[in-house]
Structure 1
Amino acid sequence: MTTSLRLNNDLSVAQFVELTVTAERLGFDQVWVSDDLFLRSAPVMVAAAAVATSRVGLGIGIMNPYSVHPAEIAMTSATLAELSGGRFLLGVAAGAEEFLGWAGIPRPKPLTRTREAVRALQVLGAGGRPVEHEDTGPGWTAEAHLRFPAAAPVYVGAMSPKMLGMAGAVADGVLPLLYPPEHFPTARDLVHAGAVEAGRDPASVDLAAAFWVSVDEDRAAAERALAEKIAYYGASFSPYLLERAGLAVADFAGIQAALAAGEVGRATDLVTPQMLGLGIAGDADEVVRRCRWLQDEGATHLSFGPPLGPDPVRAVTVLGEQVLPRL
């Protein structure tokens, strides 16, 4: 079984490095960091972690082809693969339309653009030229190739059915965001169907069960930490996923208004028990119970995402010492 830790780029570089070093010591296989706009630079954070670790895989989940051109993503990926000794993992997705909108960046044809970016990045990482392939998008010339190719596995962050199917068809791995975790069987079937349709063996795709978790002996404290994360990101979730949890983007209107007014505490208070069900909150026993269900459904890669708990270092330690050995 593969285990990974997903962290947000709202952490300081020092905090991220400390958590990554802790995760490596506790036996996690991978550590990922988001690259959300207007927070810290994920490539810089991964570079800092690369020089502080020696074994654990290091990923950015995700970069998007709208705010950064695939050529520059390829440069970043190859450089981090070189720096880390081949441990770098690249996550690509269309990105959240709301967050891109903050910078006035349009997001046309997300499925097409993401697929083209994935293929171009795979070709560039292998030392090839995108212009020689029909599925890498327009605009490339014969001079568009890396002068120091260094391949990294390309994962796709996906939520919608079409994006999940596309990821199964072309990606090396998939990070399906499971809000709630019980969405895994549906996501799995969509990824596998995409792989089969493309003539691929579904087992060749590293399919992560990527969920949010907040662990603490104090259940109320664990739920509060998760509620803060849901308050910030909930409205940007795919309507498709929210609908499966009995929710809609409109349900987060009051939360969004509170956040816009700078009232983070009030926004957190407005997160309902139904919204908390989008992730896992509780003690180690509760996390193990929910994870064993995922394993029973065929999950071979468990990916634990933020907030992890009211004390992130303690939470990662609990996951490594009390959860992973039981799975």
Structure 2
Amino acid sequence: MTRLGIMFTPSLPPESLPTVARAADEHLDDLWVWEDCFKQSGLASAAVALARTDRLRVGIGLMPAPLRAVALTAMEVATLARLFPGRFVPGVGHGVQSWMGQAGVRVESPLTLLREYAVALRQLLAGEEVSVQGRYVQLDGVKLDWPPDPAPLLMSGGQGPKTLALAGKVADGILLAAGVSEDDLERSLRSALAERPADLPAPEVVHALIVATGDGAERRLAAEYAMWDVEAAPGRGVAGDAEAVAAAVRALSARGATTVALQPTTYLDAEGVAALVEFAGREVRPLLA
């Protein structure tokens, strides 16, 4: 069955995370945190969510590679993966280029950086000693004292066929950008699988679905589309009752999503998101069985 999760978006303050995480631990499979500049740390948020829950899987989508030295990222990921085995899913991506420019870390070739970074990170998490002199990643005999066993899944993704093709080559799973339609999902998967090595298993595919329920749901979903500057399209969002949400999740699963993370509309506070989580667990999940 498709995994069902919730997105903890940075429109909520960090101190509201435990409320949402505890609700997700009771009702859903996953919680995914964002690392948008200049809002909340993905790793710190993941650590809090993991520490406040017992069974929930917590993912990060996505840590911007330019902001983080790969050796430090490996140390932090390994620590969480060892403390919470099987429950932590890190992810790396380009980062929004305008934000990378603001932070003074924008690079000339984001694809080259992400390729070098993801390869080195996977090697370090596998316990290997890594020496590399790349265009952006330089390591000299770096080896973790405490690598995780097994290494966690590493997600990557974003937008654009070149980025998705790279993610398919170097990552275990694909995290799609927010606001992706069913048709976009299929196109993204074709790009991601085009050059995927034959010895790698099929990737996990995480799709964010904007959800609005209750009175005024259609209006709130339309406002969310306007904020994201996207048009309404199947798979991008859904407004309605449990059957409507379940139908949207089933349709995405049929197109290749292995995990659907519900993305709350920005008007909700922490209690509202927790209520959405409970609704999804009690009313939507039974319809997916």
TM-score, structure 1 normalization = 0.77
Q: 1:86 to 1:172 in 2, by over 3 A?
A: same
Q: What SS class does the counterpart of residue 66 from structure 1 fall into?
A: helix
Change (3 A) 1:223 1:98: farther
Change (3 A) 1:92 1:229: farther
Matches within 5 A, 1:254-269: none
Equivalent in the alignment of 1:268:
none
Q: Which amino acid aligns with 2:157?
A: G
Q: Deviations over 1:99-149 (max 9, x none)?
A: 223323313211121121111111111111221x6889642101x221211
The equivalences for 1:68-107 within 5 A come to 68-107=68-107
Letter in 2 for 1:315: L
Aligned mates of 1:4, 1:221 — CA distance in 2: 20
- How far 1:308 moved relative to its partner? 7.6
Distance 1:135 1:202 in 2: 27
Once the two structures are TM-superposed, the CA of residue 85 in structure 1 deviates from its matched residue by 3.5
In structure 2, relative to structure 1, the CA distance for the partners of 1:68 and 1:125 (3 Å cut) is: same
Partner of 2:279: 318
Partner of 1:140: 139
**For the structure 1 residues 194 and 229, does the alpha-carbon distance in structure 2 shift closer, same or farther, using more than 3 Å as the test?**
same
CA distance in 2, matches of 1:303, 1:62: 14
Q: Using the alignment, how far apart are the partners of 1:290 and 1:308 within structure 2?
A: 20
**Deviation (angstroms), 1:325:** 1.7
Q: Percent identity?
A: 28
Tell me the distance in 1 between the aligned counterparts of 2:244 and 2:108. 41
Q: CA deviation at 1:286?
A: 2.7
Structure 2 equivalent of residue 211 of structure 1: 208
The code of the aligned residue for 2:236 comes to G
Residue 319 of structure 1 aligns with an amino acid whose one-letter code is A
- What is the Cα deviation at residue 276 of structure 1? 4.6
Over 3 Å counting, the alpha-carbon distance change for 1:152 and 1:223 in structure 2 is farther
Deviation at 1:312, TM superposition (A): 1.3
Q: Quick check: which one's helix share is greater? A: 1
**Equivalent in the alignment of 2:254:** 296
- Residue aligned with 1:148, SS: coil
What one-letter code is carried by the residue in structure 1 that aligns with 2:189? R
- In the alignment of these two chains, the number of paired residues is 279
> Which amino acid in the other structure matches residue 192 of structure 2?
V
Listed as ranges, the gaps of 5+ residues in structure 2 are none
Deviation (angstroms), 1:229: 7.7
1:265 is matched with none
Q: 1:154: how far off?
A: 0.7
Distance 1:276 1:103 in 2: 33
Aligned residues of 2:113 and 2:137 also touching (Cα < 8 A): no
Give the corresponding residue for 1:240.
none
Once residues 62 and 9 of structure 1 are traced to their aligned partners in structure 2, the CA distance between those partners, rounded to angstroms, is: 13
2:222 and 2:10 mapped to 1: Cα distance? 16
Q: Which runs of 5+ in 1 are unaligned?
A: 235-251, 253-273
The amino acid of 1:76's aligned partner reads E
CA shift digits 1:288-323 (9 cap, x unpaired)? 232222223243322323438732122122222222
Q: 1:164 touches 1:194 (CA, 8 Å); kept in 2?
A: no
Root mean square deviation of aligned Cα? 2.5
**Which is further off, 33-42 or 290-299?**
290-299
For the residue of structure 2 that corresponds to 1:212, the secondary structure is: strand
Higher mean C-alpha deviation, range 13-22 or range 296-305: 296-305
TM-score (norm 2): 0.86
User: Cα distance 1:95–1:193, how it changes in 2: closer, same or farther (>3 A)?
Assistant: same
Taking the aligned partners of 2:156 and 2:143, their CA distance within structure 1 comes to 22
What letter is aligned with 1:275? E
Q: How does 1:25-174 map to 2 (within 5 A)?
A: 25-26=26-27, 28-131=28-131, 138-142=137-141, 144-150=142-148, 151-174=151-174
Identify if the C-alpha distance between structure 1 residues 135 and 200 changes in structure 2 by more than 3 Å, giving closer, same or farther.
farther
CA contact (8 A) 2:88 2:152 kept: yes
Q: Distance in 2 between matches of 1:215 and 1:44?
A: 28
Does structure 2 retain, via aligned residues, the 8 Å contact 1:227–1:276? no
Cα displacement (A) at 1:222: 5.7
Name the residue aligned to 2:188. Answer: 187
1:279 alignment partner AA: R
Segment drifting more, 220-229 vs 54-63: 220-229
